[in-house]
Every structure is written in C-alpha cells, then in structure tokens.
Amino acid sequence: MLTTRPRGTADILPGQVEKWQYVEGVAAQVFRDYGYREIRTPIFEHTELFIRGVGEDTDIVEKEMYTFQDRGGRSITLRPENTAAVVRAYLENKLYAGPQPVKLYYSGPMFRYDRPQAGRYRQFHQFGVEVFGSHHPAVDAEVMALVMDFYSRLGLNDLELHVNSVGCPNCRPGVRKALQEYFRPSLEELCPNCKNRYERNPLRILDCKTAKCAELAEAAPTTVDCLCPDCERHFLQVQQHLRDLGVPFTLNKSLVRGLDYYTHTAFEIMAPDIGAQSSVGGGGRYNGLVEACGGTSIPGIGAALGIERIILAMENRGLIPAIKAGPDVFLATAGDDPAREGFRLLAELRAAGVASDMDYQGRSLKAQMKYAAKVEALYTIILGAEEMDRGCVSLRDMTAGSQREVARQDVVKVLKELLNGCCD
Ligand code: AMP
C-alpha cells in the first residue's frame, strides 16, 4: 500500500514530464494566439455545483464522482470536469460585467471513478476553453478551429472532427417525442438507467455506453432531423464558417450531449489508433448552463481535451521531439580545493542562467566525465589543481570531443556565448 499509488492514477516521471511541458507550452501559445486568458479554479467544489452543472442524469454524477464530507460537514467533490467550475467562477467574480465575450482556458487534473484501462484514468488531465457571452456561430467554428490547430501544431494532422447539432429547448419536445416513439417497443430491453431516462430525458439514452442500449440507439431518430428553423440556420452557418477556415469535419448525427443546457453545436475529436478510448477531445455549446448554475441566460461554448490521450497519440506517431532535459554544463573537479572553487563557479554559472551541475558523490575525475556524457551535458568544465594554479579551466565540447583552456574569469561569459549560439 505505502509504495503503491491508487488505481487509475499515474506518476509523471522525469523523462515523461518533459513531453507534458512541451505539449503544455504549445497549448499556452495556441490559446494566446486565439485571445484566450487562463483561469485557475479550485480542484474541489461544492458537490451541488456538479450535480447542477454536469447533470443529475449523467454517468459522471450517477457513478463517477469523488465525493466526500469535509470536517465542517459540507459535501465536497473533486472536480470531474471543469466547465461547471468555470461557469461558477464567471458568475461569482462577475466576469459578465466586463466586455464580452469572455474567453478562458484552463489546464489541470480531473477526477472520475471510472474503470481504468488504456487511455482511461481516475485522475486525468484536460486542457479546456470556454467562451461566454456570444451566440455567434463563428465562435463555435473558432473553438473547433482552435482545437484542430492545436492538434496540428503538435503534428497530429490526421484526427477526425465529428460535428453535430443537438438543437435547443424549442426543438427538444419534437426530439423527445420521436425518441420515445422509437424506443417504446424495446423499452424492456433498455438498461435500468435508460428505462428511467425514457421518461425523464430520452436523449440521454443515446449517450449510454451499455452494449444493448448502444445497439438499439443505432437507428434512433437524430436531433438534426428535428431542428427548429433557428437551430438549423445556426448549424448551417457553423458549417460554413468551418469551411471558410478550411477545417475538415464529418457530420455525425449520433453525437449527443443529452442535457437540456447543451444546445446547438456538439463535437468530438477522434484518434482511431489509440484504442477503445479514441476520443481525444470534445465540446459543445451550452446556452442553458449559466442559467442552470444560478446566473442569467448567457450563452456559452467550450471544449475539453484529454492530455494523456494526446500524448499517447503523439507517441504512437513518433511525434515527440527530442527534448534535452539534463544540464548544459557539467563541472568535473579533482581535489578538495578545486571542488570548493568549482562550487563557487557553479553558483556563478547558475546565476548567469547556464543550466549546470557538479558531482556530490565523491566520484573520480574519470567517473565524473562518464557521468557528464551520460546526462548529455553539452560542455564539461574540468578543474584540477593544475588548472587552479594557472587561473584557468579546461573546457570540453562533448559533441565535438575537443578541449581547450579558458581563463577562469572568462568561463561564464564564454559558455553563455557558446550556448546562445553566438560565439565570436
Ligand atoms: P469529457 O469531459 O468527458 O467530454 O472528455 C473530454 C476529453 O477528456 C475526452 O475526449 C478524453 O480525451 C478526456 N478524458 C475523459 N475522461 C477521461 C479519463 N477517464 N481518462 C483519460 N482521459 C479522459
């Protein structure tokens, strides 16, 4: 127990973490390019927020939340997703009072008590964007374009964007009626959850992962067949904007987000090669969510992308660039006085922004040189009694295998120049 992490969690070790930092760096740049600002909300929230914001009828709320009572007797939940929390923060901090739309992004861990398998964890990480305050179909297209641009900047050019419209509360009675008529003859074959959903929210049946329900849902009527004129116009405009931006997409009529506050556009991005859990991201418009969370009627749209699955898809395609993580400079010393002088020099190098390290294990000079090669240092400084007497160090270029002497007082400057690629 003490040396085992909880099921469904992962340690991101040095070697792996650099891949995360690389992906996070690209994400931050894309978000900036599209005018999004970062928001950081708590890892835990009041349980009620997710019940309202994610929806009572969802798998997340029904069976996947990490909920507990804190010492003050409050019901707290580790966030299973972050849209509800961002909506809460938008309302609590009155971001609606500033210029609209408000475009936000986040990145961080989410928690769902699901059955772990490849690409599915109990603690996983998402990037997400949310836009509040605009109905404009160009915003729907922008969010999808941003997501696809991000993947493509990582080299993931072969992912599939599936798009659908789930309509609005005006279209829902028609969808509801059509679905109830369709499922009525097979009501007994539905799973117990879906039997309940049949009356309460038949659209949710289309989201069910149970094999029998999924099979029955295959030929079910779709939301796009029941769109009201406004929703139909909005959806056509979204598609036109996507075409204008040159973003390829597939219409997928079976894509649903079966809750009332999800409206209009729904989308999902698939990487077919990463296994059963092939969805690398998804999102949609939620014009009813801000109101459901206690605000006024403010439209919104967002997307959430799974970081683990992005990295998996990149690894499968050999897209992770070589990332240098070790020190640029290793300082090898021989003898007590050179070690002390080396320690001072190390501090100077670091203060000048040169990533450097030295030996603390009492290794021989030869072993230190071996170690420097192993950690892929670009340069090694060799400092022995002889060098100290002459007021210099030996500087070894580890790539070229060449060595030269440099005056002690010039070492930092010389290395800075060499590492910045501007030797003179
Ligand atoms: P969702 O919030 O369910 O719409 O999921 C958005 C994205 O988060 C998915 O497309 C996945 O890439 C990722 N994701 C969702 N659940 C998990 C999980 N349990 N483990 C890893 N990634 C997940």
In this predicted model, what pLDDT tens digit does every residue of 48-61 receive, in sequence order? 999 999 998 788 99
Per DSSP, the three-state class of 188 is helix
pLDDT of residue 72: 98
Give per-residue pLDDT as tens, 127-177: 999 999 999 999 999 999 999 999 999 999 999 999 999 999 999 899 999
**Cα gap 376→324, rounded to integer Å:** 8
The topology (CATH level 3) of 329-417 is Rossmann fold (3.40.50)
**Among protein residues, the one whose CA lies closest to atom 21 of ligand 1:** 120
> Could you tell me the residue ranges of all domains in the chain?
17-171+223-316, 329-417
**Average pLDDT, integer, range 397-420:** 96
Of 301, 9, 258, nearest to 147 by C-alpha is 301
How far does the centroid of ligand 1 lie from the alpha carbon of residue 117, in Å?
A: 12
pLDDT of residue 257: 75
How far does the centroid of ligand 1 lie from the alpha carbon of residue 216, in Å?
A: 24
* Contacts (Cβ under 8 Å, ≥6 apart) of 48: 75
Q: What is the token pair recorded at 70?
A: 């804190």
How far does the centroid of ligand 1 lie from the alpha carbon of residue 313, in Å?
A: 14
pLDDT of residue 193: 87
Is the CB of residue 314 less than 8 Å from the CB of residue 155?
yes
Q: Which residues of 131-165 are buried (b: 16+ CB within 10 A; e: fewer)?
A: bbbbbbbbbbbbbbbbbbbbbeebebeebebbbbb
Residue 422 has pLDDT above 60, yes or no: no
Pocket of ligand 1 (CB under 6 A): 81, 112, 114, 119-121, 124, 126, 279-282, 304-306, 308-309
CA 49, 55, 60, 65 dihedral sign is: positive
pTM: 0.92
The topology (CATH level 3) of 17-171+223-316 is BirA Bifunctional Protein; domain 2 (3.30.930)
Residue 197 has pLDDT above 80, yes or no: yes
* Contacts (Cβ under 8 Å, ≥6 apart) of 391: 407, 408, 409
Per DSSP, the three-state class of 6 is coil
